[in-house]
Chain A
Amino acid sequence: MSGMAPGADQAIPPAETAEVELYHPHSWLTKYVFSQDAKVIGIQYSLTAIAIGMVALVLSWLMRLQLGFPGTFSFIDANTYYQFITMHGMIMVVYLLTALFLGGFGNYLIPLMVGARDMVFPYVNMLSYWIYLLAVLVLVASFFVPGGPTGAGWTLYPPQAILSGTPGQEWGIILMLLSLALFIIGFTMGGLNYAVTVLQARARGMTLMRMPLTVWGIFTATVMALLAFPALFVGAVMMLFDRLLGTSFFMPTLVEMGQQLRYGGGSPILFQHLFWFFGHPEVYIVALPAFGIVSDLISTHARRNIFGYRMMVWAIVIIGALSFVVWAHHMYVSGMHPYFGFFFATTTLIIAIPTAIKVYNWVLTLWRGNIHLTLPMLFALAFIVTFVNGGLTGLFLGNVVVDVPLSDTMFVVAHFHMVMGVAPILVIFGGIYHWYPKITGRMMNEAMGQFHFWVTFLGAYAIFFPMHYLGLLGIPRRYHELGEMSFVPASAHDLNAFISIVALVVGFAQLVFLFNLAWSLRHGRLAGGNPWNATTLEWQTPETPPGHGNWGKELPVVYRWAYDYSVPGAEQDYLPQNHPGPARGTAGTAA
């Protein structure tokens, strides 16, 4: 058979679909701005997400200034503090992490890694970005409307979210809900593309079980998002109606300032269910891409095949599925039947099993690996440590009896920052240092990168580790100042001041990172096509940065899994996925 390469143990089936017609940009505008090329869209998503993420970062400084030095800053009062935490939390979770992992990394990497020319529906994919941008602008607009942005907390619980007394009740909450609805519509357009591209547009020879774990992580997260965001969408629509039309979906009978409000008969708990049916999977929507990416970083930079590839894939899928049946562990203090508490605590703890498997496999991949302490590897290692830390405190919070006293304390803040704040952010940094050479053709500056890494990693620990202790003392979350509370020792105030100073330093390190991004674009060392000697397809493109259509004339053909590192006898210690020749490892051993 002509399509069969010498030495391949298995015939590669012929192409099932005809070559796609690529759209051809006719002007500068359609090439760089209204581009339908997934790579450009990915970069647009990433830059927008980073820009809005900077807003969230600045908000965290302001919050920390207030917590560390209460009373010093006259422009921060209880109201503005609430607005800061709300916008900070929502931006970080949705507009930064979700958009960056799925819209940014997903767009750039999926077509390249599965060997496609582009996403399956580039036009819809382009719309996805512009609607996302619109959602971001609507969100930003809420800073400038009368009353300012909403201060309801990122969970937006009604009834308080839409009652007077909560800052941003006039406009902020409306814009927030609108912006979320827009985000979901935009995401759905992109998400359908990511999912269908992975399912239906892979290269010849690229079986699902040969895909890099990065693609598995992003793909699973995308499917989860397509099923979880609907709940938030419905919740947002209903709350908009409660606020604008005076319906009472979520609003019970209420008395405000001695006056009975026109609301009555609704169910506030209903919103909590809708929110957390989205909210918990959301944690994994940002964690699974991180899991996938970190697996590839570790494998590449330790020159070792990933340990237990199949286990890793199934763990991702099982975590994704289980995360839809744990949501009420966020509602233990909302009041629920003890049997429900039992059920949700059990499912929560069961998730720890596939998660722990993943951690063991990362460690076992490193075991006796040829570990190169490159920047991506440093961030990957930091991720493992941080994630384990956050995961362990999750086991505490997953148990009803332990959660009840810890709920709404700084312990929770420490937990979720470790597990879904710092850990995924570290992977994002690692991923950017790793793929920057492919995107721009140049390496990022190593010295600035080292500085950025150490300050960020150690700083994040200095910020969030002490918060566990503050939480155990009983210091509540979402309090803009502690005042005189007998159970708070004076040392806790010093600790708070310390945390705040570190937070400023860590924030500064991010500016160095941004500077590095821009600086290396022109002054970075030339990278060549495959500076890390990586196996996955995106490093095998004929051009770097990859051109429109990714592959030049010939689509790649895949002969092996993504983890053939340290191959005995191989010329360069690794075999790229499109390298014909004897297959090795678990994938491709069908013969």
Chain B
Amino acid sequence: MPDSTPTHAQAAMAPQAGWQSLVADWSSDQRAFKSASWGKAMMWIFLLSDTFIFGCFLLAYMTVRMSTTVPWPNPSEVFALEIAGTNLPLILIAIMTFVLISSSGTMAMAVNYGYRRDRVKTAVLMLVTAAFGATFVGMQAFEWSKLIHEGVRPWENPLGAPQFGAAFFMITGFHGTHVTIGVIFLLIIARKVWRGDFDQERRGFFTSRKGRYEVVEIMGLYWHFVDLVWVFIFALFYLW
């Protein structure tokens, strides 16, 4: 009945919008987030907790940057590369950031194809994402070795405050670990997608539960989060 005005009953059944629907969901039974599966809800809450970890790390970095009396090295000089005779400040980090942001793009596409149950494209895009991630970690390793070569250590720093090296290695290391873990899981899930585990409802080795394509999206949540954190590290460490 496309033309008829909604009856009272229909109006009551119609999905509510905005705050009302929020209140309705939370005062309902069974689930507070109606559209989120268990796995997704869990990932969101985990990311919230992880946000606090990174938040504490970054606040700690700012605090020691203020507490030390030795001058802080100038990031655009420290993170400059000599390429073909020209001195390019922050060039490596710009490329790294670009790579990581691009990987978020391919991840988003993988999620999209995952929902269309396009096995091959999903798996390939996840592999590309993983490759971007691995490139990022590789470039970070290069940057670490360059700094180490210049004498920067967690405990000392010929360029200025020792807290610079300490905070740099700790925070980028912690973030790099996140990326590395992400790459590992991307590979594992890409393999499952490729093999068709989610189409055949094959059971997981450890959990003995059937996986679903949704895992791709949950993986995506994590990956975008790691990306977002990088933006903050980039802004607070390299640009400040």
A residues at B contact (CB < 8 Å)? 12-13, 15-17, 21, 23, 120-123, 188, 192-193, 195-196, 199-210, 226-227, 229-231, 233-235, 237-238, 241, 245-249, 262, 264-267, 270, 274, 277, 558
Contacts and interface: CB of A to CB of B under 8 A. Distances in A.
Contact of A270 (B28, B64, B207): B64
A113 to B, nearest CB: 14
Q: Max chain B CB contacts within 10 Å: which of A199, A208, A274, A558?
A: A199
B29 A196 contact: no
A469 to B, nearest CB: 40
A556 to B, nearest CB: 12
B231 interface: no
Given A231-B56, A270-B64, A188 B49 contact: yes
Interface string B137-162: 00000000000000000110000011
Interface in B51-69: 52-53, 55-57, 60, 63-64, 67-69
13 contacts: A13-B28, A21-B209, A199-B33, A200-B36, A200-B37, A202-B31, A203-B30, A208-B27, A233-B53, A262-B155, A265-B70, A266-B64, A274-B56
Nearest to A198: B32
How many chain B residues sit at the interface, stated as a range, is 35 or more
A202 B29 contact: yes
A86 B226 CA distance: 37
A202 B42 CA distance: 15
B187 to A, nearest CB: 20
Contact of A226 (B39, B45, B69): B45
Nearest to A558: B29
Contacts of B67: 265-267, 270
B30 A202 contact: yes
B116 interface: no
A238 B53 CA distance: 12
A247 B155 contact: yes
A318 B161 CA distance: 42
A200 B167 CA distance: 39
Q: Max chain A CB contacts within 10 Å: which of B34, B67, B206, B210?
A: B67
Contact of A245 (B33, B53, B68, B155): B155
Contacts of A241: 154, 166, 170
A237 B170 contact: yes
Contacts of A21: 209-210
Contacts of B42: 120-121, 192-193, 196
Interface of B is mostly: helix
A238 B170 contact: yes
A199 B38 CA distance: 9
A188 B46 contact: yes
B60 A234 contact: yes
Nearest to A271: B60
B22 interface: no
Contact of B155 (A205, A229, A235, A248): A248
B41 A16 contact: no
Contacts of B55: 230
Interface of B: 26-34, 36-39, 41-42, 45-46, 48-50, 52-53, 55-57, 60, 63-64, 67-70, 154-155, 161-163, 166-167, 170, 174, 206-210
A208 B26 contact: yes
B197 to A, nearest CB: 15
A208 B32 contact: yes
B154 A245 contact: yes
Nearest to A123: B207
B24 to A, nearest CB: 11
A277 B60 CA distance: 13
Contacts of B38: 120-121, 196, 200-201
B168 to A, nearest CB: 11
A514 to B, nearest CB: 35
A220 to B, nearest CB: 13
B29 A206 contact: yes
B31 A264 contact: no
10 A-B pairs with the lowest CB-CB distances in the bound complex, closest first:
A265-B68, A246-B155, A230-B52, A247-B166, A234-B56, A267-B67, A230-B53, A123-B207, A120-B38, A226-B49
Q: Max chain A CB contacts within 10 Å: which of B37, B39, B49, B155?
A: B49
Contacts of B26: 208
B45 A195 contact: yes
A248 B163 contact: yes
A23 B205 CA distance: 12
A274 B148 CA distance: 29
Contact of A265 (B41, B162, B206, B210): B162
A200 B60 contact: no
Given A201-B38, A237-B170, A247-B162, 6 more contacts: A17-B31, A21-B210, A196-B42, A247-B163, A248-B162, A264-B162
A209 B28 CA distance: 9
Given A23-B208, A234-B57, A264-B162, A200 B29 contact: no
B154 A247 contact: yes
Contact of B64 (A188, A208, A237, A265): A265
A195 B49 CA distance: 12
Nearest to A242: B166
A509 B1 CA distance: 75
A16 B64 contact: no
Contacts of B208: 23
A265 B31 contact: no
B60 A249 contact: yes
Nearest to A252: B67
